[in-house]
A and B are shown apart, each in its own frame.
Chain A
């Protein structure tokens, strides 16, 4: 069967996961591949856990990726990364924003946020390719916490064999004109965070 590259993007509603998955899908098309993207709207957006699927390939059929079959897990929040670790295939790549957003159950004291040890142990059972990215910090340095998602895209781009110009074009197309420059700087910084 023809090879596809499969991305799962997860985060908390409002973190820009939808924009990020839009860009990844657009880059796939820009690289001359077929691309499909699937996500869920509505109730999930109200601060809930969100997940979207993006697939690239010469030919892509299903818009959904099977659990445990993703090549890349791009996570904008650590608890969400952990919740979705089972989407990653053995040996797949996890890129995780080193940020904790405690859900209400935790912030109100009713539950505990999982420790970094628990987090790393779970990921290491699946893969040794786990990157913790200080993306929020870098985004704030670039100018706004809101470009957090694009810092993460920069990091992801460093691991993929697609011309940087294709990424930049996809970002320019998706963000409001007055924020293009800041987003491109965020992307640039992101690219340097992963080797």
Chain B
């Protein structure tokens, strides 16, 4: 049966078909749907881990126990999981281990656009790259076979345009993977990475890569498609599709394994074409590997290493480099549309984060932010985040600023899931080192930005089982916070009082600002759109500055609330100095929506 599947759906399908028994991940765009999809298949175990490092350790443990295992993550997730990635390369495994790295060229949802093929080489882990969803599925099977044959983790590296493009896939049946080993492996020299053993393992993994280099020569996903021999293109991943589109007659060497590359195949290919180039997104990874063979060719001198490629940019860069004639240029009309108002992602109407930022803006507190929906508080009109680097950075950065003697009182702001991810060790560090950072957990009861995943605070697992629901107050106290308070995110007076008290204190404290994500089904049931009393409104504009999409400035300058968008969170009503925005309790007649 042939079906349109996204790359992520195809990887989930492949993991099921090829016998993966255990999968663990932390959500992150563009990787999230892999585990969500995989979790729905029968006879598999899938979980959301608290972070990517934990997720990879879990998959490694399952692979040590003899099962086929998978861990999936966005590119920056592998930074978190790097320690595990490296030791797994050193120890090898028993059952196949697949690490999926979903890179994000153009940074649609990320803080950088690192090319994780470098991690493969760095850790001596083979890297495979699919060109579409069909190959994404097929390579899961091939990668697991390689993993078991060569006793190594294997990285399946995809990018946003593989993850989130849907292309036809032929579906197959489940083949059960190996059962768990009857006893957990007790191989001291292989699995205990004391220096004495690690020193013996290093030559083993170098030899493994040498063997994989030989294997790559006949790996069926590396193939030559002969065409006109005046131009030969070495390509991989989604760039293969651009090569086929823009250079329909050229000869192509498509690499399904980009680390290690097959030296003989590359030499022969380059030797039989007049001009050889490399077409790949982001870093000159394959290009550099080819150059290390002593072969000179061009790649990044023609095609940009920044952002995403598409057929037009590839064509234009090829024309500029003389690879295609001027006549290949298409005609474009770019009308002058003038400057248009932007439409960046915004905090939704009814978002529990909005009121908190209205208060921090008022108190002019320096905010060290973190990764999640609440990062959007950095944008106008709230302008209420001063730093944001990576998952869990907020608390450590705030503590560092305090210890440096920064005269203002630093606040760390992070979400519930991000706190579980990497906030916890940082908070313990504040407590231990007599820090005074004010840590605010914006607890919206879900991992929201990536599309509402469960986490330790929701009381439910990825596969829908009830589980222990972790409470923040006891957790924060256990991590050394003497002053812990929970306030209602929608009660601005309470939020302001609690923050002011925290600032006055000379010691560290933690504040849980709690309010359910407005998009959760339970929250939706409570929507009651508010109304503006047009008599009282004088168009002062204070409510516009809360940045809610439901509040519209009318022609007369007064505010109007769009009943289709408003949830009735009352943040704007609390901000209005003229009491013109009616609270829920003041809406006498029932809503007509």
Residue B364 lies at the interface, judged by CB distance under 8 Å to chain A: no
A43–B449 contact, CB under 8 A?
yes
Most chain A beta-carbon neighbours within 10 Å: one of B4, B242, B245, B341: B341
Most chain A beta-carbon neighbours within 10 Å: one of B29, B242, B342: B342
Most chain B beta-carbon neighbours within 10 Å: one of A12, A13, A41, A103: A41
Interface residue from A38, A45, A65, A109 paired with B544 (Cβ < 8 Å): A109
Q: A104 to B164, alpha carbons, bound, how many Å?
A: 28
Cβ distance B223 to chain A, nearest Cβ, rounded Å: 16
Interface residue from A62, A82, A104 paired with B311 (Cβ < 8 Å): A62
B166–A42 contact, CB under 8 A?
no
Q: A107 to B313, alpha carbons, bound, how many Å?
A: 35
* A42 cross-chain contacts in B, Cβ below 8 A: 29-30, 32, 108-109, 449-451
Q: A139 to B108, alpha carbons, bound, how many Å?
A: 32
Interface residue from B29, B164, B334, B340 paired with A43 (Cβ < 8 Å): B29
Residue B336 lies at the interface, judged by CB distance under 8 Å to chain A: yes
Q: A64 to B541, alpha carbons, bound, how many Å?
A: 42
Residue B330 lies at the interface, judged by CB distance under 8 Å to chain A: yes
A104–B346 contact, CB under 8 A?
yes
A64–B161 contact, CB under 8 A?
yes
On whether A125 and B551 interact (CB within 8 A), knowing A43-B109, A44-B345, A66-B315, the answer reads no
Q: A77 to B392, alpha carbons, bound, how many Å?
A: 37
Interface residue from A44, A63, A110, A122 paired with B337 (Cβ < 8 Å): A122
Most chain A beta-carbon neighbours within 10 Å: one of B4, B333, B338: B333
Interface residue from A40, A48, A102, A125 paired with B344 (Cβ < 8 Å): A48
Cβ distance A130 to chain B, nearest Cβ, rounded Å: 12
At the interface, is chain A mostly helix, strand, loop or mixed?
Answer: mixed
- For A82, give the chain B residue with the smallest CB separation: B337
Cβ distance A14 to chain B, nearest Cβ, rounded Å: 9
At the interface, is chain B mostly helix, strand, loop or mixed?
Answer: loop
Segment of A112-120, A147-155, A156-164, A180-188 engaged in the interface with chain B = A112-120
Residue B263 lies at the interface, judged by CB distance under 8 Å to chain A: no
B348–A46 contact, CB under 8 A?
yes
Interface residue from A35, A86, A109, A114 paired with B168 (Cβ < 8 Å): A35
Interface residue from A13, A25, A35 paired with B345 (Cβ < 8 Å): A13
Residue B557 lies at the interface, judged by CB distance under 8 Å to chain A: yes
Residue A105 lies at the interface, judged by CB distance under 8 Å to chain B: yes
Q: A67 to B330, alpha carbons, bound, how many Å?
A: 11
Cβ distance A148 to chain B, nearest Cβ, rounded Å: 12
Categorize the interface residue count of chain B: 35 or more
Interface residue from B334, B347, B551 paired with A86 (Cβ < 8 Å): B334
Q: A105 to B548, alpha carbons, bound, how many Å?
A: 10
Residue A165 lies at the interface, judged by CB distance under 8 Å to chain B: no
Q: A79 to B341, alpha carbons, bound, how many Å?
A: 8
Residue B335 lies at the interface, judged by CB distance under 8 Å to chain A: yes
Q: A48 to B248, alpha carbons, bound, how many Å?
A: 36
On whether A40 and B160 interact (CB within 8 A), knowing A63-B167, A103-B342, A108-B381, the answer reads yes
Residue B373 lies at the interface, judged by CB distance under 8 Å to chain A: yes
Q: A123 to B334, alpha carbons, bound, how many Å?
A: 10
Cβ < 8 Å to A, chain B residues 149-199: 160-161, 164-168
Cβ distance B282 to chain A, nearest Cβ, rounded Å: 16
Residue B343 lies at the interface, judged by CB distance under 8 Å to chain A: yes
On whether A126 and B333 interact (CB within 8 A), knowing A36-B166, A46-B348, A61-B245, the answer reads yes
Residue A71 lies at the interface, judged by CB distance under 8 Å to chain B: no
Cβ distance A149 to chain B, nearest Cβ, rounded Å: 16
Residue B547 lies at the interface, judged by CB distance under 8 Å to chain A: yes
Residue B545 lies at the interface, judged by CB distance under 8 Å to chain A: yes
Most chain A beta-carbon neighbours within 10 Å: one of B315, B344, B451: B344
A121–B345 contact, CB under 8 A?
no
- For B108, give the chain A residue with the smallest CB separation: A40
* A113 cross-chain contacts in B, Cβ below 8 A: 341
Cβ < 8 Å to B, chain A residues 115-143: 118, 121-123, 125-126
Categorize the interface residue count of chain A: 35 or more
Cβ < 8 Å to A, chain B residues 275-325: 308, 310-313, 315
Most chain B beta-carbon neighbours within 10 Å: one of A1, A13, A36, A64: A64
A47–B248 contact, CB under 8 A?
no
Q: A122 to B230, alpha carbons, bound, how many Å?
A: 42
Residue A172 lies at the interface, judged by CB distance under 8 Å to chain B: no
Residue B238 lies at the interface, judged by CB distance under 8 Å to chain A: yes
* A38 cross-chain contacts in B, Cβ below 8 A: 161, 164-166
A67–B312 contact, CB under 8 A?
yes
Encode B99-141 as 1/0 by CB contact (under 8 A) with A: 0000000001100000000000000000000001000000000
Residue A39 lies at the interface, judged by CB distance under 8 Å to chain B: yes
* B244 cross-chain contacts in A, Cβ below 8 A: 61-62
* B160 cross-chain contacts in A, Cβ below 8 A: 40
* A89 cross-chain contacts in B, Cβ below 8 A: 330, 332
- For B448, give the chain A residue with the smallest CB separation: A46
- For A1, give the chain B residue with the smallest CB separation: B248
On whether A68 and B333 interact (CB within 8 A), knowing A25-B166, A46-B345, A108-B544, the answer reads yes
Residue B585 lies at the interface, judged by CB distance under 8 Å to chain A: no
A47–B549 contact, CB under 8 A?
yes
Residue B552 lies at the interface, judged by CB distance under 8 Å to chain A: yes
* B341 cross-chain contacts in A, Cβ below 8 A: 79, 102-103, 105-106, 110-113
A43–B168 contact, CB under 8 A?
no
Residue A16 lies at the interface, judged by CB distance under 8 Å to chain B: no
B164–A40 contact, CB under 8 A?
yes
* A122 cross-chain contacts in B, Cβ below 8 A: 335-337
B108–A43 contact, CB under 8 A?
yes
Residue B403 lies at the interface, judged by CB distance under 8 Å to chain A: no
* B340 cross-chain contacts in A, Cβ below 8 A: 79, 82-83, 114
Most chain B beta-carbon neighbours within 10 Å: one of A13, A41, A62, A67: A62
List 6 A-B pairs, Cβ < 8 Å.
Answer: A35-B168, A41-B30, A45-B451, A103-B343, A108-B547, A110-B381
The 7 tightest CB contacts between A and B, nearest first, are: A66-B312, A42-B29, A42-B109, A108-B544, A48-B345, A63-B165, A68-B332
7 further A-B contacts with Cβ under 8 Å, apart from A1-B245, A41-B30, are A29-B168, A43-B29, A68-B332, A85-B335, A86-B335, A104-B549, A108-B553
